[in-house]
Structure 1
């Protein structure tokens, strides 16, 4: 039974607000990049900053975590990759496309659920997958400013959704994971994976220390005071609320990202057929979670 603090309403409000903050994640990324720090190093710095808070907490309470580290490492490895690709997608393609491609979850959740959770391929899941694929094709059907329908940023957004679906499957399988070590290793792996981009894939020199120092205030506020707590709240509330409700409420991230980008970025425009694709992807997500609610 829920306590007053853990009531379904309070948890739902907390989850909705936390997901909405992640819909604004593109703002500090673009802001830091515009200050002169390359996109790759911006992603690295943002992923590394929460470790300032998480590492001391993990060391302080290590004795409580060491018994459950193995499943946590599996989940955080996948989610760390998801955070890396999602962050890269937000700075390499349009915010709307990166966010929507990340939310092609019905496809990946179905595949991983069948493989690892012994779930059945039902009519509802097939329908949501078909709707999501149609939405994907429509979203990528037009060109913006002469760009190709599918660019590297879109690929990053797509990969982020795949790895997030994998990580969510691990969390579903081992639902008693502790939030602090899970979040810690998510950001550790994300920082490590992010380093591969400027060091190996697209070599970029380390930004001037003065640029980093000038951006510390912005990074600290967004990374440690807004996004990190939001990340923990999402994991925490998912333990108490039904998967269907969690899926629907997390759509606040998509809504906030789409509206904020369309208002604040003049070039963030999509053709009507692409907006139709965006609607189809959102519809697929709603269909998936509503189907799960009815099934349960």
Structure 2
């Protein structure tokens, strides 16, 4: 009975946490509108949770150095994934990069076979085939009218899915790692990845102290009150649930992102072929679960 209750709590936590991610693009675009140019909003938004996590680590006397390997690996993979995924949301169509990120099911299948010695069966082959075919339709269906030509943002979205798949595999391989430590590393590497991309893609756009202070209330409240709890909920639930169930429940992000972007960003509409491709990508998530 206790296990069943734990499973239900983890499932609910994962659905809610992933759904929050579906709205993640909104504060990033809003900071951009308020003068934080390029992808510096990504850096600042992911930096704010560190202001909460660092005092908690000190208060709870969490040791980051005795056995840093697993937590560092999970944080590196998921943190860089978050940094480049966030960047792709700023520079590319929100709906499409969300679909591309969910090719994680394909990469997780490959990683499971190669790294975790899982059996390669027909279902896993179908997962890879469906995901790659969906990606082909997302790319081939692009049109100038939809402002969706394949570009660097799509590359970042795809790479973020690969890295997140490695991080998720690490969470399942080392479920005993301290949640505060892995979350701290995750946000730290997200900040570093975002800063590097901001310097590369938008040189000379470093925000001033005045600009940062003007958006600090929005960034801190949004990231510390919503993004940080959602990340910790996803990390915790991923240790409790079987990978298949977790993959299905995390699709709440794709649902929320698609609805919100369709309502608020009508200029980012996709072609019918791209919608079909996105649906096939989500089908690959189900196959891989």
Query: Kindly tell me: are residues 41 and 106 of structure 1, through their superposed partners in 2, closer, same or farther at Cα, counting changes over 3 Å?
Result: same
Which runs of structure 1 show a deviation greater than 6 angstroms over 4 or more consecutive aligned residues?
Answer: none
Work out whether residues 73 and 167 of structure 2, in 8 Å CA contact, stay in contact via their aligned partners in 1. yes
Structure 1 position 92 matched with structure 2 position 91: yes
**Partner of 2:207: helix, strand, or coil?**
coil
Task: State which drifts further: 197-206 or 215-224.
Answer: 197-206
**1:280 match:** 280
Structure-2 residue corresponding to 1:238: 238
1:65, 1:197 → 2: CA distance? Answer: 27
Indicate the residue corresponding to 1:15 in structure 2. Answer: 14
Q: How does 1:235-274 map to 2 (within 5 A)?
A: 235-274=235-274
Q: Residue 36 of structure 1: CA displacement?
A: 1.1
- The offset of 1:148, in angstroms, is 6.3
| TM-score, length of structure 2 as denominator length | 0.94
Where does the alignment leave 5 or more consecutive residues of structure 1 unmatched?
290-296
What is the RMSD computed on CA atoms of the aligned residues? 1.8
SS in 1 for 2:68: helix
In the TM superposition, 1:120-135 aligns within 5 A as 120-135=119-134
| 1:178 corresponds to | 178
Give how far 1:202 is off.
4.0
- Assess if the C-alpha contact under 8 Å between 2:93 and 2:148 holds in 1: no
> SS where residue 23 of structure 2 aligns?
coil
Q: Note the C-alpha offset of 1:189.
A: 1.1
> 1:7 is paired with a residue of what secondary structure?
helix
Decide whether aligned partners of structure 1 residues 283 and 214 sit closer, same or farther in structure 2, where only a CA change above 3 A counts: same
* Number of residue-to-residue matches in the alignment: 288
Residue aligned with 2:112, SS: helix
Is residue 106–residue 125 contact of structure 1 (8 Å, CA) maintained in 2? no
CA contact (8 A) 2:247 2:285 kept: yes
Deviation at 1:149, TM superposition (A): 3.2
Residues 140 and 274, structure 1, Cα contact 8 Å, conserved in 2: yes
Structure 1 residues 1-296: aligned runs within 5 Å: 2=2, 6-63=5-62, 66-141=65-140, 142-145=142-145, 147=147, 149-200=149-200, 202-289=202-289
Alpha-carbon distance between aligned partners in 2 of 1:27 and 1:98, rounded to the nearest angstrom:
14
- The 1-side partners of 2:268 and 2:163 are apart by 26
- 5+ residue gaps, structure 2, are none
- Cα distance between partner residues in 2 of 1:62 and 1:168: 26
> Secondary structure at the residue paired with 2:267?
coil
Cα distance, 1:200 vs structure 2 = 4.2
Compute the displacement of 1:133 (Å): 0.7
How far off its partner does 1:172 sit?
1.8
Report the CA distance between 1:3 and its aligned residue.
7.1
1:209 Cα deviation from its structure 2 partner: 2.2
> Is the contact between residue 41 and residue 206 of structure 1 (CA under 8 Å) also seen in structure 2?
yes
